[in-house]
Structure 1
């Protein structure tokens, strides 16, 4: 477990912007201390204001005792963090199972309704606690590459202008293989109109975007990162299987574990025009051993959707809560009075998109690891 841990529907994608608990058994929980890392957000030329971070340098604070205990361990005893996570997940799994067993044993008794209600409440409590654990694991993976999460935008926008420094592009791109990075750069170009080889002047050019649109781009990028993680691992596995058996049947693809999002298909097919010309005429062997994007083009629509769908309800809720904390409540984001137009640089937009893609990739890893100890609810 320790080794493993180290390693909503999608809204329509806008045009390029340029054209626009349970009780915890962990006993080593000291008092909170603020992390020393700071992400400076500059509010225009000459401005001295900067964002204030939560104790975790993240927009979403832990909601449960489990999350608060683990955040304390992460800040004060990071070397014990994965051990604490393993213990917490085991306890949550045991408590949920105990409640289910009591409910089943009392099914024929006059206390059946009571125990059924207790089991439902325990299920809800454990789900929220597990979402906290997932979020902290994702935060830890960002800290490994020395990238703090962008805090609440409401604290970072001054005079309707947003700038995020430092950009951290290199750190956020360093976690991917070259073929995955190529697809991510194409995604950045598609959603914000910034080319991979853009000049410094282009990067720091100003543009305008509404907060609601920015939130949609961020959610789409999380799902795209999740999708790329899924298909890249699938591609690697299928390639290794193909080496063992040249006669591997196409149906073996569907025997692999699937996972994907409603609406993500439009995001993937946003790149189809460019990819198709490179992949025309490729046979299955070439697609399996060739570029990842050619491999993706070999998917039928059903497989494409399955590979992009979030596998667990916990992940759906986590993305929703994280994005609401970052951009504001759904009701606020739809309000004309609050959904202001933000002036920002393409560099800052790229920073947010790269963070979101990494968030999706880390979410896939976290889901995989947690599910081996605490069974997540199927989405």
Structure 2
């Protein structure tokens, strides 16, 4: 069972050779429309018609290929600065840039705008499917197939950016700003990169109590006895933190999936009467993916910050008190452990290529593209790996955001698939 989960969990790794190593009803995401005068179908339709008109005429609006980052401009959104980017990933497709404009001006209208874009994508796909391949062979046939492939790739990229815009909108709706792209600060003399605020209380409210227990266990696996230490600063490999972030996004995706089923069975009162409290081999396997921050690669994880009594951490592991220390039994974890290996395999798999690509792109936008060098022995040369200084509170916030990102990704993927079927069975 644990092996099945781990095989799916390893499908994304923040260890690129060129960029990355790739290897029941659903609950739609919440739609909040605010003012009826602005959110009316006619208003959205006029906005969409203007967008498509500009796109087809190539006059104004989206002619430039230069992408721009999403900026917070609404007073109702309590970000750490009204001009600060609210998402690290820049949207490049015409549809992505269109949704960027909606996120800037009227983020509550994003779901309605997405509906219009999905209808257009569906019409384009149906029209493409109705076309017959030319009977001629040779150059004409090759050209026809190449054009169809380019159009399919454009639709896939647009779909990825629709998913991303919906995830960003859900963070905005929860009034939780996304962590901006991580760079070495020039103004902070200490060199710390975690200048963002603590949003744990808001992030906690997003998840069910049972899911949050599992998230706390996930944090305990990563931080060990530093779980309650928010002020000490550590020097960590940026690549390893990126690995933890990507792994935590996948964990949040899996957790939302199983919690949705758990909550449904709880409401229907059909939960098993006796759920055994087993040792969580799933959590242990997840920990094996988290542990490379310090253990597997031999990196050091040194405390360099505010508490001089905290000893340095050598390559012995993230949790000095022992791997898995602090893991508490929870009802949801026991429920997950009652699954057979096939169910675990299914629930631990990211369902669409678009979601896999989105996790990779978002992680790369947040941490940058790492330079990976493979030695002749087949190991990773970490000599060019950048070290960053981050407090344990900042690392905790990163992991909480990643888990929430994965949870939101499950929601919006299900929502979009109910209107534009793209998830393979």
Does residue 302 (structure 1) correspond to residue 342 (structure 2)? The answer is: yes
Indicate the residue corresponding to 2:410 in structure 1: 364
Q: Determine if contact 2:110/2:169 at 8 Å carries over to the other structure.
A: no
Q: Give the Cα–Cα distance (whole angstroms) in 2 for the partners of residues 360 and 132 of structure 1.
A: 15
Q: Give the Cα–Cα distance (whole angstroms) in 2 for the partners of residues 346 and 273 of structure 1.
A: 17
Q: Determine if contact 1:222/1:360 at 8 Å carries over to the other structure.
A: yes
Change (3 A) 1:51 1:11: farther
Does residue 373 (structure 1) correspond to residue 419 (structure 2)? The answer is: yes
Indicate the residue corresponding to 1:354 in structure 2: 400
Does residue 187 (structure 1) correspond to residue 218 (structure 2)? The answer is: yes
Equivalent in 384, 389, 397 of residue 343 of structure 1: 389
Q: Give the Cα–Cα distance (whole angstroms) in 2 for the partners of residues 189 and 359 of structure 1.
A: 19
Change (3 A) 1:274 1:79: closer
Does residue 321 (structure 1) correspond to residue 361 (structure 2)? The answer is: yes
Q: Give the Cα–Cα distance (whole angstroms) in 1 for the partners of residues 71 and 268 of structure 2.
A: 48
Indicate the residue corresponding to 1:267 in structure 2: 286
Q: Determine if contact 2:256/2:407 at 8 Å carries over to the other structure.
A: yes
Q: Determine if contact 1:265/1:304 at 8 Å carries over to the other structure.
A: no
Deviation, 1:373, is 1.6
Deviation, 1:331, is 2.8
Indicate the residue corresponding to 2:235 in structure 1: 208
Q: What are the ranges of 5 or more consecutive residues in structure 2 without an aligned counterpart? A: 1-9, 16-46, 55-60, 63-67, 274-281, 291-322, 374-379
Q: Give the Cα–Cα distance (whole angstroms) in 1 for the partners of residues 412 and 84 of structure 2.
A: 24
For normalisation by structure 1, the TM-score amounts to 0.73
Question: Which structure's residues are more often helix, by fraction?
Answer: 1
Query: Higher mean Cα deviation, 311-320 or 341-350?
Result: 341-350
Deviation, 1:210, is 0.7
Q: Give the Cα–Cα distance (whole angstroms) in 1 for the partners of residues 215 and 366 of structure 2.
A: 22
Change (3 A) 1:340 1:12: closer
Does residue 80 (structure 1) correspond to residue 109 (structure 2)? The answer is: yes
For normalisation by structure 2, the TM-score amounts to 0.66
- Cα deviation per residue 1:78-118 (whole Å; 9 max; x = unaligned)? 3432211100011112112212221xx22534554433222
Q: Give the Cα–Cα distance (whole angstroms) in 1 for the partners of residues 177 and 366 of structure 2.
A: 13
Change (3 A) 1:162 1:335: farther
Deviation, 1:207, is 1.6
Q: What are the ranges of 5 or more consecutive residues in structure 1 without an aligned counterpart? A: 1-7, 14-23, 41-49, 248-262, 280-290
Q: Determine if contact 1:235/1:292 at 8 Å carries over to the other structure.
A: yes
Indicate the residue corresponding to 1:9 in structure 2: 11
Q: How many residues align?
A: 317
Deviation, 1:377, is 4.7
Q: Determine if contact 1:58/1:151 at 8 Å carries over to the other structure.
A: yes
* TM-align CA RMSD: 3.6
Change (3 A) 1:168 1:84: same
Query: What SS does structure 2 have at the residue aligned with 1:342?
Result: strand
Indicate the residue corresponding to 1:250 in structure 2: none
